[in-house]
Amino acid sequence: MFTLLLALATTPAHAGDSAATYTAVCASCHGPAGAGDGPVAAALTPKPASFADAAFWADKKDEDIAKAIKEGGAAVGKSPLMAPFGSSMTDEQIKEMVAYLKTLKKE
C-alpha cells in the first residue's frame, strides 16, 4: 500500500489535462467515475470521498478541496493515506483538478 501511495504522490501531473491526471493518480482510490469505489478503496478506512455524491459537495469550498490535494488528506482532517500532491502539481493544475472533480457530481 505504501508503495502505491508513494508512486501516486510522485507521479507528475499532466499539464492542462485534469481527466488524465485524475485517471493516473486518483481513480485507484476514488474510482473511475469519482464514486469512491476504486480498486484500492475496499482496503481503505475511512473510505475515499465520493465526488459523484451531491451531498459531499454541499458544504465544500474549492479551497478545502485544493488544500486536500496539495497537502494530503491529513491536512483537512481526512485520511492520512491520501498523499499530498503539492510537489507534483502546480497551484493552477490543482485549481483545474478541483474544477474537474466538480464535473463528476451527480445531481
Task: Show the domain range for 99.
Answer: 2-103
What's residue 21's pLDDT? 95
Examine the pLDDT at 14 and tell me if it is beyond 70: no
CA nearest neighbour of 100 among 74, 60, 65, 58: 65
What's residue 16's pLDDT? 64
Spatial distance between the Cα atoms of 106 and 34, rounded to a whole number of angstroms: 10
Q: How many domains does the chain have?
A: 1
- pTM (2 d.p.): 0.84
Q: Across all residues in the chain, what is the average pLDDT?
A: 88
What does the block give as the cell for 92?
493552477
Task: Give residue-wise pLDDT tens across range 70-104.
Answer: 999 999 999 999 999 999 999 999 999 999 999 99
Q: Return the CATH number at 85.
A: 1.10.760
